Amino acid sequence: MDEPARPDPDALLALARREGRGRLKVFLGAAPGVGKTYEMLAEARRRRAGGADPVVGIVETHGRAETEAQLGGLPVLPRAVIPYAAPNGMRMLEEFDLDAALARRPAILLLDELAHSNAPGSRHPKRWQDVEELREAGIEVWTTMNVQHLESLSDAVARITGIRVAETVPDRVLAEADAVELIDIPPAELLERLRAGKIYRPDQAERALRGFFREGNLAALREMALRRTAERVEADVTGYMRANAIAGPWPSGERVLALIGGEPGAIAVVRQARRIADALRGPLLALHVERPSAEDGGAAGAALREAEALGAEVETVVATDLPRAILAHARARNAAHIVLGRGRPPAWRRLMGRTLSAALLRQGGDFALHLVPEPALPALAAPERHGLPGWTGLVAAPLLVAAATLAAFATDGIVPEGAMGMIYLFGIVAAAVGFGALHGLAVAALSFLAWNYLFLPPRYTLTIAAAQDVVGVVVFSLVALLLAGTTGGLGRSVRAARARLLGLRRLVEFSRRLGAPGTQGDLLDAVAREAERIAGRPACVLMPLPPAPGQSEPEPVLRAAIPLDAEPDDAAMAAARWAMAHGRPTGRGTDTLPAGTAWQFRPMRTARGLVGLVGLQLGEAPRLDAETDRTLDALLDQAAVAIERVELMEAAARDAARAETEQLRLALLTSLGHDLRTPLTSIRGALGTLRCSGEALAPAVREDLLAAAEEETVRLTRTIANILDIVRLENGQVEPRREPVALAEALEAAAGRQERATGRTIERRFEARLPAPRLDAALLDQVLGNLLDNALKFSGPEGRVAVVARREGHEVALAVEDDGPGIAAEALGRVFDPFYRASRTDRIAAGTGLGLAIARGLTEAMGGRIGAESPVAAGGRGTRVTLRFPA
């Protein structure tokens, strides 16, 4: 018997969440001037006449006499006055008083212009956030909004009108509203109101008619408002049906449900359903029913991804009764049309009416069924098999029968001939579980013949003499057939459950590793390692590098690989660039660029967009099996969220460090004045002495004064250049020009220039066959110059300085070492902050504390990393600063 209909738990949970919150009613319009505020005030006056307590929180009449007349008789909250420091002086701005509204607690509060941005200094930056707080306090809010202010429609509105809407409202605010009332008038009537001066002043109206208020723009915006309102009404109807356990479908919408199975034609079903939904102008749903004993070759996963790309709402359920699960889901989602593939079921299923389409026709007479035509489906491909090859079962079947026969001979005389068949049942069960139902049936047939021929009297004939033996044979045959069928399905279920359990265990372990603290590099290594474990193939992780000047798309850069030599070649990197630009799987085993590369790249996405790619070196394998594919997709989802979390944490840490640096900078600006004043004083003194007593001075003295002035001028120039560089970096004005750089030549040039300037010798240790990463040669030279100057300065006149270059996995490392006093452990994390000077080195050489900060900024701008180590020499001395760039 069917279970009684029960309300949907999610629908009941949504109703429960609304309990205790204030209601929200939105008066939605297609454009300014359609009468949203007028209708809201008129409804409030009707409610007040009925004894309610509506209060105007804030209403913008824009000088419209009709709207101002509706304000009469309604209580209005006084506005809050907020001081604002404008460029032309202090101004006083009037804004909605949130605290006054919370204290007044009216039954209904009217707030105009939901998308409005509050004045600086308000509690919330946006008015819709004020509405959220009011609703949490239990106050019912009425508000107005134009459809172009919806966040998801801002790009579409900009393409239609040519105007980018700056103030937007998240779509969830409208979705969570308790009521949406559409205020609609035809575009022609709205234009007449505009020309009559009922919306804007005549000069403003003339400009509006030439820009935003064109008839085509208004018609498109009106269609958007009607569609969004219709979607909201349909969601209300569906929610009501689910909350009240009403079986659908109701003929109130044209929802299309695409059934996604494991057959190769699943993608064709999705595309056909998309076309039907577009023709009916209805939403598209996609459903995949996963049966415990079913196996597919990855077609379902590919079709589900295709459905998501086509904008369908995708859902996966687990059930054994396929037609019942499909119809229950269709009724719960109020779908009126079901699209499925015709498929190629066996002939006996077609003759007996046991196909899925026939079952849906019998049980779902209130739905419209659409069968995708046979020509639209690709030819069935043999599914990829994993585990034992097919011929193993053919060999195992007679061996199992032979083993059972030997056991029967061993017990002959002990076990009656009629019970001898029980021994053969072990072989039937083993064949069905290990190789499938067909092999179980084959073993059952061979077992019957062996038992009858060898043990049933008369022996060594296929004749059955006794009546009780006939009954035994019939019972044996029925039990054997039943065991072959049920245990075959049980074997598939056990294998599928074991694979899912293994995947789940891996995901749990991976989630635990993701929760452990660490850097982004550690996280990317963990992602690559887990992808390699799941897929059983070499894996890598590529992260987007901001596009260089003249490029529009980000460049994928290898950040982690398992094993370390698993690096995509040039053809694979071309596929990776396409995957990163379009956010879709690319390469081997996909629909995009499948030839020419052994790599497959899968995007890691979050709600904010693409965060990176995971690459798999599939080699000659066409694709992964379905269970591995699903586990890998789950891994990518978790990895994307974890990477985004690490990036947000790093951004928050940078913001905190930037705030601390800002405070430090303010404190050190005064000391910076000393660094500028000292060379200026020296230059001024030298020049003054030369001007007043130049003729009386000895030539050697004059030369010393000129050399001192020149030295202080160079020092002053360097200080000012450092200040300008740090300002450019913090303002984001540094744009690297990337090209392959020969590292040995770059290091040789920087070291040679410092040797000529100081007369010191710099040791060089370069690894043979260094790669040529894509960097900005000029910026790299500036970074190396700063590091070498710093090392020479703090190592003393007789100290040792060395430059080292080597390959480290998928990165190249450039290091500058010295044997100076080193840096204290507590200062290592701050030596790259602007104006910071380590206390152990301040006694050796003076400086502004900008050299290492500039080196860090330029290194990060080129996509690299910089770090410091100390001590690195004997006696607790020495410092090593290392640059790392993608190789």
Q: What residue spans in the chain does CATH classification 3.40.50.300 cover?
A: 10-243
> Residue 121 CB: number of other CB atoms within 10 A?
12
Q: Which residue has the tokens 């359609």?
A: 34
Sheet containing 555-562: order of strands: 555-562, 539-545, 609-617, 599-606, 586-587
Question: CA distances (Å), 683 to each of 689, 697, 714, 720, 758, in order?
Answer: 10, 17, 11, 16, 22
Q: CA nearest 528: which of 553, 559, 506?
A: 559
Answer positive or negative: Cα dihedral of 100, 101, 102, 103.
Answer: positive
Specify the pLDDT at position 322: 85
Distance from CA of residue 886 to its chain's centroid?
23
| Structure letter (DSSP) for residue 651 | H
CA distances from 798 to 257, 758, 787, 870 (A): 80, 12, 18, 19
Enumerate the β-bridge partners of residue 27: 144, 181
- Asked whether the predicted pLDDT for residue 520 surpasses 90, the reply is no
The C-alpha atoms of residue 433 and residue 427 are separated, in whole angstroms, by 10
Q: Measure CA of the first residue to CA of the last residue in the chain; give whole Å.
A: 67
pLDDT at residue 57, as a whole number: 92
The two structure tokens encoding residue 263:
């057959």
Mean pLDDT of 273-292: 82
Helix (H) or strand (E) holding 345: none
352-362 pLDDT, tens per residue? Answer: 767 888 888 88
The DSSP annotation for 810-847 comes to TEEEEEEEE-SS---GGGTTTTTSTT---HHHHTT---
Ramachandran quadrant class, 150 (left: phi over 0; alpha: psi -120 to 50; beta: rest): beta
Q: According to CATH, where is 1.10.287.130 located in the chain?
A: 672-730
| CA dihedral (351, 354, 358, 364) positive or negative | positive
pLDDT band at 856 (very low <50, low <70, confident <90, very high): confident
Q: What does the block give as tokens for 311?
A: 């904008």
Q: Give the whole-angstrom CA distance, residue 665 versus residue 606.
A: 37
pLDDT digits (tens, 9 = 90+) for 436-489: 667 767 777 787 777 777 777 777 777 766 666 566 656 666 666 666 556 555
pLDDT (mean) for 864-880: 85
pLDDT band for 111, please (50, 70, 90 cuts): very high
Most confident of 372-376, 379-383, 705-709: 705-709
**In terms of pLDDT, which residue wins out, 214 or 539?**
539
Mean pLDDT of 754-780: 86
Report whether pLDDT(664) > 60. no
Residue 62's pLDDT is what? 75
CATH match of 255-376 with 2.60.40.10: no
Asked whether residue 718 carries a pLDDT value surpassing 90, the answer given is no
H-state helical runs in 246-298: 266-280
* Percentage of residues in the chain having pLDDT higher than 70: 74
CATH 3.30.565.10 for domain 739-886: yes
d(CA 629, CA 642): 20
Give the residue from 241, 466, 415 showing the smallest Cα distance to 336. Answer: 241
CA–chain centroid gap for 577, Å, is 17
**pLDDT above 90: residue 27:** yes
Torsion of CA 812, 818, 824, 826, to 10 degrees: -20
At which residue do the structure tokens 């060898």 appear? 454
Q: What values do phi and psi take at 345, rounded to 5? A: -70, 160
CA 485 to chain centre: 44
Residue the block writes with tokens 């960097």: 775
Q: Is the pLDDT of residue 288 over 80?
A: yes
Measured between alpha carbons, how far is residue 680 from residues 572, 671, 701 in Å?
A: 58, 15, 20
Report the DSSP beta bridge partners of residue 286. Answer: 258, 314
Q: How far apart are CA 642 and CA 511, in angstroms?
A: 9
Supply the pLDDT for residue 2: 45
pLDDT recorded at residue 15: 59
Mean pLDDT on 498-515: 61
Check: CATH 3.40.1190.20 for 672-730?
A: no
The residue type at 379 = A
Q: How far apart are CA 75 and CA 757, in angstroms?
A: 80
Per-position DSSP letters for 458-473, written without gaps between them: STTSS---SHHHHHHH
868 or 383, higher pLDDT: 868
Exposure b/e, 757-769, CB count within 10 A at least 16 = b: eeebebeeeeeee
- Helix (H) or strand (E) holding 562, with range, is strand 555-562
How much of the chain exceeds pLDDT 90, in percent?
8
Which ranges in 731-836 belong to alpha helices (H)? 743-758, 777-795
SS3 314: strand
- Confidence at 643, pLDDT banded by 50, 70, 90: confident
Number of CB atoms found within 10 A of residue 94's CB: 12
Write out the two tokens for 525: 């290594």
577: tokens are 């660039």
Counted residue by residue, the chain has a size of 887
The predicted structure's pLDDT at residue 327 = 87
Residues of the chain with CATH 3.40.50.620: 255-376
The tens digit of pLDDT for each residue in 415-440 reads: 776 667 677 777 777 776 667 667 76
Residue 842's pLDDT is: 47
The alpha-helical segments, DSSP class H, found in 244-389 are 266-280, 299-309, 322-332, 347-352, 356-363
Alpha helices in 19-109 (DSSP H): 36-49, 65-70, 98-104
What is the rounded average pLDDT of the residues 365-386?
Answer: 60
Predicted confidence (pLDDT) at residue 34 exceeds the cutoff of 80:
yes
| CATH top class, domain 10-243 | alpha beta
Across the range 857-881, mean pLDDT stands at 85
CB of 284 within 8 A of CB of 256? yes
Give Cβ neighbours of residue 410 (< 8 Å, ≥ 6 apart). none
Sign of CA dihedral 141, 144, 147, 153: negative
Across the strands, what pairs with 108? 54, 140
- Bridge partners (DSSP) listed for residue 29: 146, 183
- Residue 665: name the closest of 711, 730, 577 by CA: 730
* d(C-alpha 865, C-alpha 199), whole Å: 57
Mean pLDDT value across the chain = 77
If one counts every other C-beta atom within 10 angstroms of the C-beta of residue 861, the result is: 19
Residue where the block lists tokens 């690319």: 586
Would you give the DSSP letter of residue 148? G
Instruction: Tell me the two tokens of residue 743.
Output: 């590292």
Token pair of 167, please? 């103030």
Model confidence band, residue 143 (pLDDT cutoffs 50, 70, 90):
very high
CA separation for the pair 87, 218 (Å, rounded): 37
Classify residue 419 by its DSSP letter. Answer: G
